[in-house]
Structure formats: C-alpha cells, structure tokens
C-alpha cells in the first residue's frame, strides 16, 4: 500500500507540476531588454537656491511679521541650496535627454550620470512645459550614445507587460517589471491628465524615466505615484509626450488654444434637466467677457458636444481637444441649447491660466426666507450683492440647507447664490417655483450656482421635492 501511495503521489505531483512549468516558461525574459535599454537611462541631479528662512514658516503670519513682532527687525533670509534627483533617457545621438519638468524646474545646476559611468556631465535645459510636466535637456559627451525610440501608446493594451527603468531613492538603474493596469487615468495632476497606469514599481526618483514595451520602445514617461497605495504608478503616454517633446527640443513653447470658459462634466441628473439624451459633453458654467467663446456666441448653460466634428466625451476631453488646436484656429462647436443642437464657430485665443477673483465674505443675515427643495432662500438686497461680489442684486441667497434633501446631498451650501434655474434668471422664490413647475415632466431642474466668485451647475431631482 505504501508503494502504491508513493507512486500515486509522484504521478499527481508530476501532473500538477506541468501547468506550473508551462506557466513559468511563458513568462517574459527581461534580461536583454534591461541591458540594452539601461544604457540610455540616466541619473539626473539638480541644485537650486532658495531664499528660505532658517526658522521656517510661521503658521498664520509671514516670517517677517513673526520675527519683527517678537525680536524686532531681523536680517534678510540667507540663500540655501536645495538638492533634487530624478531620471531621464537619451532620445538623440547629439545628447538630448527627456525628463520631467518637476525634476529640473528652477535648477541652477543640472548634472547627468550614465549607468556604469562615474563621470558627471553638465546639462542645460533646452525646453520645458509645466502643464504636461515634460522637459528636454542637453549634454555633450565624448562617447557614442544609445537613444531610445518612442512607441505608440495608443496601441498598448491593458494587461501588456512593461518595464520601468530609473533611479528610485537614488538607487541607480533600477529595473522593475509589471503590466499596464489601466489607460486614460485622470488623477488631478494637471489640466491634461491622460495617464497610463502600471503596477511596475515606481518610486520617488523614477520621475522622468522610461516605461518600455517588450520591443524596447518608450510607451510612457514615468511621472507620478499614488502615495497611499502599493505599486500604482502613472506614466505620460508617448503619443501625447512626443508632440510636446518635438517642440521642446527646438526650444519652442507649446501654443494651446483657449475658449475662455469654465466647464464641468454633465451628470445624469443634469442631462435629464437639460433634456439631453445622455450625460455627455462639457457644460459651460461661465463665459469670460470678451473671451473667444463670448465673441463666438457661446452662452452660459450651453453643453459643448462636438469640436470640429469630433465628439467631446466630457470636461477633460474637451479641454484636450481645444488645447490641441493653435491660437487663431477656428473651432466649429456643436452645442446643446434649449433642447436642440446649435452650431457656433469660435476663433481660439491663447490659453490663459489667470485665476478667477474670490468672492467677498459670507453673508450671515437670513432675512425673510422661503423653503424650496430643501433650501431656505431669499432675494438679495443691494447691500448683500455688494458683500457677495455681485454686479447687481440678482439671484437667490441660500441661507440654510436641509442636509437630508437632494439639495444637501448635491452639495448646495449656505452662502451660495442661485442665479438661474434651467437657464432662466431667478430673482424671487416665485420665479424659481415657476421654473420647477414647468420642469416636472423632465424630473429634474438645473441650477446655476455662484460660490466664491465661481459659477457651477447643480442638477436636483424633483421626485423628492
């Protein structure tokens, strides 16, 4: 019985081992790829001078106020050197190297070191673009270089094997492998988020290094991590980066189109309130006076559905499509307005990053208020309009909100001003109730809300009013 049992165990072990052996043989071998691509990956060091106080900032006051209050006039802050490091990779035989903007931003001195080469090469910044976090630097060497080529990140599939090479925590030429976990990630890093997500280990110091496919092509530039997770990293897609790098290496600054509007995604409830068949496009929350969109006939409350015949899926997609055009280009926009499609042509301006002015202090006087949809509302007086930063008395002031109603759940707050309902001005509670009555068939009403100088749309369902 023991011999039979042993033979049976042996047979089962061999049978169970076959899939494991087959699986092991199917795993990729990264040795050749790592050795070849590693020659093009560099370690980047930078130094910059700051004028920080040696005591650091004092919460609630400037350092000058703090020291002068307690010790009298003090000496000027002394310059202090700040050190940083990152990664990069060679893209040309004449010493052009790609890295991240944040790796070299503000640097007084940039140096580059290659794998198995202790010599440090001084580098100069050729071009940099903050909005896409890309930079190109140049070095002069006395030996031949092995540049990497860009691949097509649009062809990359989720689940595909990738290799990351960089210098995490100063550990030169570290190689990590993984897969593409997701595409088109938006993580709030900048206005043109469109990241590849990977589980190939990326850490501080990997910034600017390449993410490679199995053919040794750069399909991403490692740039960000999720600090609250293990092995979740993000890379700028090569197809997006290549266009910017082509300009930067010639010392040119990317020129991006600008509409001059603030926009937001369209929720299901907002789509219902607007009569849109589906939640798509970008909802125009405000239009800058005299901006290209204003001159082209775009209005607050419009939903931008298409740009030059291409569908705008959402807020982020519209931003990228407009920024992909040049100032002076014409953008044919298909808008959703008052239940139907309207076409407008806008001549784009240069992208403008000026912040909107903040609204005045919150107003506390509740006055005579009426409750609608869980909100306590009152018309706005001349004095209140001035305090709220309004050009004239308009809209309804939210003096209280029931948190257990749709208004509270959708984020309406005390101090908000409701300017419009379903794109009609509302200056009294009667105005608002009239719009709500007409909107009952749609089952939702969309409010234009001003908060701290910014306009946004909020849609409220009417079935729980």
Catalytic residues, by residue number, are 102, 133, 207
The answer to whether 207 is annotated as binding is yes
Q: Strand 303-307 relative to strand 417-421: parallel, antiparallel, unpaired?
A: unpaired
The answer to whether 152 is annotated as binding is no
Q: State the Cα–Cα distance between residues 158 and 263, nearest whole angstrom.
A: 30
Give which of 164, 325, 316 is closest to 255, Cα–Cα. 325
Residue 74 burial class via C-beta count within 10 angstroms: exposed 0-12, middle 13-18, buried 19 and up: middle
Which is it for the CA torsion 293, 298, 302, 306, positive or negative?
negative
The answer to whether 87 is annotated as binding is no
Residue 413 burial class via C-beta count within 10 angstroms: exposed 0-12, middle 13-18, buried 19 and up: middle
The answer to whether 306 is annotated as binding is no
The answer to whether 251 is annotated as binding is no
Categorise residue 205: left if φ over 0, alpha if ψ from -120 to 50, beta otherwise. left
The answer to whether 205 is annotated as binding is yes
Q: State the Cα–Cα distance between residues 147 and 190, nearest whole angstrom.
A: 28
Q: State the Cα–Cα distance between residues 402 and 465, nearest whole angstrom.
A: 12
Residues in the chain: 465
Give which of 213, 233, 240, 205 is closest to 149, Cα–Cα. 213
- Number of neighbours of residue 238 by Cβ within 10 angstroms: 25
- Give the contacts of 156 (CB within 8 A, at least 6 positions apart): 162, 180, 183, 196, 213, 219
Q: Residues marked as binding for substrate? A: 47, 102, 133, 205-207
């Amino acid at each position: 019985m023991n011999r039979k049992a042993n033979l049976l165990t042996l047979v089962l072990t061999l049978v169970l081992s076959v899939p494991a052996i087959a699986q092991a043989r199917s795993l990729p071998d990264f040795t050749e790829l790592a050795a070849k691509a590693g020659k093009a990956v560099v370690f980047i060091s930078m130094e910059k001078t700051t004028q920080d106080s040696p005591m650091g900032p004092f919460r609630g006051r400037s350092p000058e106020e703090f020291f002068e209050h307690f010790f009298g006039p003090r000496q000027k802050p002394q310059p202090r050197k700040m050190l940083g490091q990152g990664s990069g990779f060679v893209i040309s035989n004449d010493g052009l190297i790609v890295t991240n903007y944040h790796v070299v931003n503000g640097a007084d001195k940039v140096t580059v070191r290659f794998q198995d080469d202790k010599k440090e090469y001084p580098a100069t910044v050729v071009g940099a673009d903050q909005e896409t976090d890309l930079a190109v630097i140049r070095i002069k060497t006395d030996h031949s270089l092995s540049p990497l080529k860009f691949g097509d990140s649009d062809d990359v599939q989720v689940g595909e094997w990738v290799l990351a090479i960089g210098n995490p925590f100063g550990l030169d030429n570290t190689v990590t492998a993984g897969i593409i976990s997701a595409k088109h990630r938006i993580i709030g890093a900048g206005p043109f988020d469109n990241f590849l997500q990977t589980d190939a280990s990326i850490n501080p110091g990997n910034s600017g290094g390449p993410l490679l496919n199995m053919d040794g092509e750069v399909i991403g530039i490692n740039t960000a991590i999720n600090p609250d997770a293990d092995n979740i990293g993000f890379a700028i897609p090569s197809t997006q980066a290549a266009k910017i790098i082509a300009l930067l290496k010639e010392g040119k600054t990317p020129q991006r189109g600008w509409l001059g509007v603030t926009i937001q995604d369209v929720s299901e409830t907002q789509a219902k309130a607007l009569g849109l068949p589906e939640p798509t496009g970008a909802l125009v929350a405000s239009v800058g006076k005299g901006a290209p969109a204003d001159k082209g006939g775009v209005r607050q409350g419009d939903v931008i559905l298409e740009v030059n015949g291409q569908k705008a899926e959402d807020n982020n997609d519209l931003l990228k499509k407009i920024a992909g055009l040049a100032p002076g280009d014409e953008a044919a926009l298909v808008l959703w307005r008052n239940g139907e499609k309207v076409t407008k042509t806008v001549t784009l301006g240069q992208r403008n990053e000026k912040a909107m002015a903040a609204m005045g202090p919150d107003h506390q006087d509740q006055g005579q208020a009426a409750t609608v949809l869980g909100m306590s509302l009152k018309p706005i007086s001349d004095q209140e309009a001035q305090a709220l930063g309004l050009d004239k008395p308009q809209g309804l002031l939210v003096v209280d909100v029931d948190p257990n109603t749709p208004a509270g759940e959708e984020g309406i707050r005390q101090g908000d001003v409701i300017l419009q309902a379903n794109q009609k001005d509302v200056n009294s509670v009667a105005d608002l109730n009239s719009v709500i009555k007409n909107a009952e068939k749609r089952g939702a009403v969309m409010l234009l809300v001003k908060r701290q100088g910014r306009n946004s749309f909020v849609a409220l369902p009417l079935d729980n009013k």
